[in-house]
């Protein structure tokens, strides 16, 4: 970014960057940054986003899509009795990081799926991994190496669901795009998470929740809700959290179709499509004025590889087979990349 501002990365100070940024129009810098492979966005109102070409592309798409991408017989699943959670026997490979994807994998684990979080040993994680790792194995696989690719292909031989949040085209280049994985494991449910969907001029742009809040109007609207204050972030990563549960929903819907019809399936979700849906839920006239709720009734304590963990329990419960995490949260790389 400093090079884009024609500043020396070795000597530039924050004030230098601020002065250089003032010479740009926000949208021009946004475009230049995207062309340089950087992640940046201009602040927009809801109206400005809706009027943009990408905003119109998002509005024309459904919340998420499920597409058949290959032929396969229905995969054989173990029979369950009435005491077992509905996803027991389902093996899930979770190749995601930070929040949205890991939330999706965690939701599947809560209903009994055997979820393996697979991260690169070369990338750091955030503290939230102590929460989002609940119920999962956690392994390291380096897909840049031949032995890592071989390990992934071996894992896929038994997998039912594959969740990935790589930049658009990233896994395809490594040999694990949707069509490639469907060849390796016919009958797979492949879930892709992107920032801006698959249509429109921003389809190949990278992004994350906070950036999407700025680009699509949420930060501006939150600022207005605080008596016309400056743009503000939402009090939680709502796009990540909601998209995570949509990942789990889409995966379950595709698993159902796989069992009924056979085939390999590709589920596509995006933060921008989730944001568009959240807006359609409406806003409370005059805003909200509520007391900060007590959180203790909604939390549970458990041992973990990070120490004693106090975290929000899974909220949606089934009466006869309640959601629960069969494995404690463990640090990245604590498990071997293999199914027991």
pLDDT in tens, 72-81: 999 999 999 9
Q: Which helix (H) or strand (E) holds 189?
A: strand 189-194
Neighbours of 306 (CB within 10 A): 15
Q: What is the pLDDT of residues 227-279, one digit of tens each?
A: 677 999 998 999 999 999 999 999 999 999 999 999 999 999 999 999 999 99
CB 318 within 8 A of CB 86: yes
| pLDDT score at 227 | 64
What average pLDDT does range 312-332 have in this prediction? 93
CA 175 to chain centre: 21
| pLDDT score at 290 | 74
Q: Which helix (H) or strand (E) holds 69?
A: strand 65-70
d(CA 50, CA 258): 36
What average pLDDT does range 52-58 have in this prediction? 98
Domain 50-283+293-340: state its class: alpha beta
d(CA 232, CA 76): 49
| pLDDT score at 25 | 96
pLDDT reading at 281 higher than 80: yes
Q: What is the pLDDT of residues 127-166, one digit of tens each?
A: 889 999 999 999 999 999 999 999 999 999 999 999 999 9
Q: What is the pLDDT of residues 184-225, one digit of tens each?
A: 999 999 999 999 999 999 999 999 999 999 999 999 999 988
Judge residue 163's burial from the number of C-beta atoms within 10 Å of its C-beta, 0-12 exposed, 13-18 middle, 19 or more buried: buried
Gyration radius of the chain over CA positions? 21
**In the chain, pLDDT over 70 holds for what percent of residues?**
100
Q: Rounded to two decimals, what is the model's pTM?
A: 0.95
What average pLDDT does range 22-39 have in this prediction? 95
CB 193 within 8 A of CB 163: yes
For helices 271-280 and 238-261, the axis angle rounded to 10 degrees is 100
Judge residue 172's burial from the number of C-beta atoms within 10 Å of its C-beta, 0-12 exposed, 13-18 middle, 19 or more buried: middle
d(CA 61, CA 196): 11
Indicate the domain borders of the chain.
1-40, 50-283+293-340
């Amino acid at each position: 970014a400093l090079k884009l501002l024609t500043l020396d990365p070795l000597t530039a100070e924050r004030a230098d960057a601020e002065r250089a940024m003032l010479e740009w129009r926000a949208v021009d810098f946004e475009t230049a940054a995207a062309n340089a492979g950087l992640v940046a966005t201009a602040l927009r109102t809801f109206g400005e986003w809706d009027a943009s070409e990408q905003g119109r592309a998002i509005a024309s798409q459904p919340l998420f899509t499920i597409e058949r991408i290959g032929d396969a017989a229905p995969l054989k699943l173990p029979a369950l009795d009435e005491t077992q959670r509905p996803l027991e026997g389902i093996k899930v490979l979770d190749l995601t990081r930070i929040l949205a994807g890991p939330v999706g994998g965690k939701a599947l684990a809560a209903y009994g799926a055997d979820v393996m979080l697979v991260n690169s040993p070369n990338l750091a994680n955030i503290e939230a991994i102590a929460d989002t790792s609940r119920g999962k194995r956690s392994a390291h696989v380096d897909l840049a190496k031949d032995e890592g690719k071989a390990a992934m292909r071996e894992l896929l031989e038994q997998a039912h669901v594959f969740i990935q949040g790589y930049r658009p085209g990233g896994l395809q280049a490594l040999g694990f795009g949707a069509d490639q994985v469907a060849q390796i494991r016919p009958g797979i449910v492949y879930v892709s998470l992107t920032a801006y969907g698959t249509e429109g001029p921003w389809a190949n742009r990278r992004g994350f929740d906070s950036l999407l809040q700025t680009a699509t109007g949420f930060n501006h609207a939150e600022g207005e809700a605080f008596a016309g204050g400056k743009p503000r972030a939402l009090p939680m990563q709502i796009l990540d959290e909601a998209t995570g549960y949509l990942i789990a929903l889409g995966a379950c819907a595709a698993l159902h179709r796989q069992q009924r019809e056979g085939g390999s399936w590709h589920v596509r979700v995006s933060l921008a499509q989730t944001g568009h849906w959240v807006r359609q839920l409406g806003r409370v006239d005059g805003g909200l004025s509520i007391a900060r709720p007590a959180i203790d009734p909604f939390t549970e304590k458990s041992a973990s590889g990070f120490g004693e963990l106090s975290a929000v329990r899974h909220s949606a419960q089934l009466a006869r087979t309640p959601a629960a995490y069969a494995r404690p949260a463990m640090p990245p790389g604590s498990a071997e990349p293999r199914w027991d």
